[in-house]
Structure 1
């Protein structure tokens, strides 16, 4: 059983998948940084300085005690973080689309298979017709 597991792990598909997952996580970090630090400030600039990550709909405000400490934290729906996640998803999808499109251009074009010639039925029909003559 250990030998079978070793053969399974050492196949090319599992190694390729592991590399893809690691690169995907790294790419996700880069794109998240791009969205957070570069794209969202532009979006915020054109929307009047809104910071999407801070947008929320407060259901219950925070309760603050007389000494200034928070007794009950705020209960809010933070849809701004969700908007950032959607923009992040679109950015990841766009980058992956560009990468796959570029990869497909580098692959050699697949040649069409050569015609196989007439089928057996066609050959038998020709022989029959030739014998009739």
Structure 2
């Protein structure tokens, strides 16, 4: 299971949406925002801190884009805030793929407005710096 898949499954566990690993349904997706459904979350990775080759920790930055229904900016912002509130400060737990989440910290003080798409759907972004304990490969 990839880190993005684990975070998507975590968001589902937290009651923030429905993730289907095949990408054929639900409202949580990986990498690219689909045309439907209107209200959706999409996860991608942003550049993070350089990892130490000797220590079994990584600090990836995961971006969660939140899109709302047409012409409903307030609901889209509320959903983005709910995502931020659920994952900012979260830690000391196993992710669904068995990776240990040490901590999750928002890189801004809340969701950031991205803009409105061609379908009049507002988008917000939540970026999280996650510290993960990953004793794999040469760092076991």
Give the TM-score band, short-chain normalised. Answer: under 0.3
What TM-score, normalized to structure 2? 0.22
Larger radius of gyration: 1
Hey, which of these two has a bigger chunk of helix by percent?
Answer: 1
What TM-score, normalized to structure 1? 0.23
Of structures 1 and 2, the one scoring higher in RCO (CA 8 A, sep 6+) is 2
Hey, which of these two has a bigger chunk of strand by percent?
Answer: 2
